Amino acid sequence: MAIDFDGVYRNSEVWINGHYLGLRPNGYISFRYELSPYLHYGGQNTIAVKVDNSKQPNARWYSGSGIYRDVRLVTLNKVHVENWGSFVSTPVANESIAKVNIQLKINFGSAQVTTVLVKNLIFDQGHKLVVTAEKTVKLTGVITALQEELEVKNPSLWSDVRPYLYTVQTQVLIKGKLTDTYETPLGIRTFSFDADRGFVLNGKEMKIKGVCNHHDLGALGTAFNVRAAERQLELLKAMGCNAIRTSHNPPAPALLDLCDRMGFIVMDEAFDMWVKKKSEFDYHLYFTKWHQKDLEDQILRDCDHPSVFIWSVGNEIQEQWGTGKDTTGRVIARELVKIVKSLDQTRPVTTANNDVNLYNNVIQSGAIDLIGYNYNHEKWKDFHKTYPGKKLIATETTSALQTRGHYDMPSDSIRIWPTAWDKPLLMGNEDFSCSAYDNCYSPWGSSHEASLKAFIDDPLVSGMFVWTGFDYLGEPTPYEWPARSFYFGILDLAGFPKDVYYLYQSVWTDQPVLHIFPHWNWKAGQVIDVCAYYSQADEVELYLNGQSLGKKSKANDEMKVTWRVKYEPGTLKAISRKNGQVVLEQTIQTAGKAAKVILLADRSKLKANGKDLSYITVKVTDLQGNLIPDAGQLLSFKLSGDASIAGLDNGCPVSHESFKGSRHKAFNGLAMAIIKAGHTKSSIQLTVNGEGLKPATIALDLNP
């Protein structure tokens, strides 16, 4: 028997029945301990886990603390496939044939056998057996390696738009008796990075349209929940995003399962620092002793995920710089890449560099396959002048700042906050807000439009990863405390899209988009910039109270259209048209007095498994159902049935309200309740009340 930990933050030590099993300083790494020799068979067994996260600060963001990912007890026969003991790759893959290379490590343990039969069966997505092969394997060591190549005819290829998954089932048999079954996901695909063409998947050029995400799940903290992560990915997919960078550490393995299944291209990152620190007690203290083990374990654990395409061995590593003879950056970069390549030669290795000049030691190591630029989008066009013949990926971009639902005019006046990267953070204007017009960004970053334009225009930029998909806890920028989250997300901490979400959707998807903003509650006579992101149309016409304010089309490389409108209350309506035919319409109405609550569940049927979630959007509206754009009422939440409120949030980066409990304020009209299923088949009811508001109730079904 063994115990698997997917991640414990940090400095975990584990004992079984008083026997010390080991220590793992790294809070993001997965590990297994063998328990069998120390078990009390038939008696009581005690596993003790100690976590020491007392030395602070040790991260630049909210890390969470303790056992925050899954733990499993694993029972195995003596002869079994070693943990993370398979490596499946597809050296040849096209529409007519795939060669599937399977490398396996068989652990013979203390068994008295010298020969086993290993069968490999490949099943398609519908669990139909496609091909099978078997091999007699003779013991050559406690761990015996073997290799096989199987062919799949007319395979369905894995891609971001059609993430077709096969399964390789390995069966180990002793004298005809099954002793172990081990499953590995198989995505049949080929890919390459090209200096001029960028990223090529299954022979076709395509762009990696990604976001960086930290591991917290908003109001749920960092405790991993499959549905919470799946929902984040669904929201990103709907925006046209097809890639994730797991900044700046190995993710929960279950996140990679989701990416395999949902069609995300993953940049799987190892470290935010090497020997030189970013915060006092961070991993630099353990790097020298632990980097090899941690990196090897990450590669072994993740290499069978078809969604993983790129390994990143570091983000904005301080060893980029070195004066005189200090070339540690080169030495460490070479060593890390060597570790990766010793285990996986099918994927490129990158690092995310914020200094992209020629003196950068990490780049100069010559070991890096893909040169990763953080920011510096204005330098992408000169990439081949600086690094002739090399391959480029924009590992991190943008860092623009927005508060959902807040607008500073004029929309084309740019705020760079703070004014320079080395200037202190702002102390806060009256409401600690950043404008959602895409006119506010960090000095090292850019507006969303600027980086996105440069990306679209430049075929050699294989991918971009926007900082960030979601607002996250910690590292507040541009404001000092009491701000407690970042403002960088395309979606806020609660997962409500900011306006730029529709910018990406209009550029990154083929679906027709029309999104006008801002809200329509202003002071009479005020001049308001009304913007529209749109796609699959030639023009947009804007109407105020039935009067046309004119048609507009995006000229040249514009990404939106804007009208400067003298405000009068009423109805703002936009119509997008193609060849004179209406494509989409959107209406925003001036909201009256706050009168009621509207509830919308992302899912109304939940599994009664103690884990499933429903995200319920709470809208504060007037009698007609128009959102009150600045509503901040205190709301109270009452739940009946076998479920609990796992979290409450409103996306406000300055809120100090608890994410737990049964009361929370709305922010700019919205709040989010995260309902967690219990274990029994039942009906759940959530009622939300607010002072002066007509309450609302929503029902959810819990099923086995």
Binding-site ranges for ligand GAL (CB under 6 A)? 315-316, 354, 374, 396, 399, 442, 467, 475
Among the listed residues 82, 269, 396, 449, the single catalytic one is 396
Number of H helices, E strands in the chain: 8, 44
Q: Are 8 and 27 in contact (CB under 8 A)?
A: yes
For the beta sheet containing 527-534, the strands, ordered from the edge strand earlier in sequence to the opposite edge, are 514-517, 527-534, 561-566
Write down the least CB distance from residue 318 to ligand GAL, Å.
12
C-beta of 107 vs 402, nearer to ligand GAL: 402
Of 156, 164, 199, 207, nearest to 185 by C-alpha is 164
DSSP annotation string for 228-272? HHHHHHHHHHHTT--EEEETTS---HHHHHHHHHHT-EEEEE--S
Write down the least CB distance from residue 251 to ligand GAL, Å.
15
C-beta of 354 vs 535, nearer to ligand GAL: 354
Write down the least CB distance from residue 373 to ligand GAL, Å.
12
C-beta of 321 vs 543, nearer to ligand GAL: 321
Among the listed residues 316, 319, 449, 541, the single catalytic one is 316
CA distance 661 to 655: 15
Of 698, 704, 683, nearest to 607 by C-alpha is 704
Write down the least CB distance from residue 68 to ligand GAL, Å.
20
* Token pair of 452 as six digits: 């996105």
Q: Are 492 and 667 in contact (CB under 8 A)?
A: no
Write down the least CB distance from residue 301 to ligand GAL, Å.
23
Query: How many residues are present in the chain?
Result: 704
β-pairing, 391-398 with 370-374? parallel
CA distance 336 to 393: 19
Residue nearest to ligand GAL (CB): 399
Q: H or E stretch including 411?
A: none
Write down the least CB distance from residue 316 to ligand GAL, Å.
5
CA distance 115 to 137: 6
> Any idea what DSSP says for residue 219?
G
CA distance 188 to 101: 11
C-beta of 250 vs 690, nearer to ligand GAL: 250
Burial class (CB in 10 A: 0-12, 13-18, 19+), 682: middle
- Phi-psi label, residue 471: left if phi above 0, alpha if psi -120 to 50, beta otherwise: beta
Q: Are 329 and 321 in contact (CB under 8 A)?
A: yes
- Residues contacting 590, CB < 8 A, separation 6+: 520, 521, 569, 570, 571, 626
Write down the least CB distance from residue 395 to ligand GAL, Å.
9
* Token pair of 583 as six digits: 């494509």
* Token pair of 434 as six digits: 């950043």
C-beta of 190 vs 222, nearer to ligand GAL: 222
C-beta of 328 vs 442, nearer to ligand GAL: 442
Place of tokens 């190892």: 270
CA distance 267 to 347: 10
Write down the least CB distance from residue 310 to ligand GAL, Å.
16
C-beta of 144 vs 351, nearer to ligand GAL: 351
For residue 126, CA distances in Å to 120, 166, 262, 263, 457 come to: 17, 9, 16, 17, 40
C-beta of 222 vs 354, nearer to ligand GAL: 354
Write down the least CB distance from residue 315 to ligand GAL, Å.
5
Does the active-site annotation cover 558?
no
C-beta of 315 vs 633, nearer to ligand GAL: 315
C-beta of 225 vs 374, nearer to ligand GAL: 374
Residue 233 φ/ψ, nearest 5 degrees: -70, -35
Of 654, 258, 135, nearest to 434 by C-alpha is 654
CA distance 225 to 252: 10
> Any idea what DSSP says for residue 283?
T
Does the active-site annotation cover 316?
yes
Write down the least CB distance from residue 289 to ligand GAL, Å.
24
Write down the least CB distance from residue 399 to ligand GAL, Å.
4
Q: What is the sign, positive or negative, of the torsion defined by CA atoms of 620, 625, 629, 630?
A: negative
Task: Determine the straight-line distance between the first and last CA of the chain, rounded to whole angstroms.
Answer: 29
CA distance 286 to 26: 8
C-beta of 120 vs 399, nearer to ligand GAL: 399
Q: Catalytic residue positions?
A: 316, 396
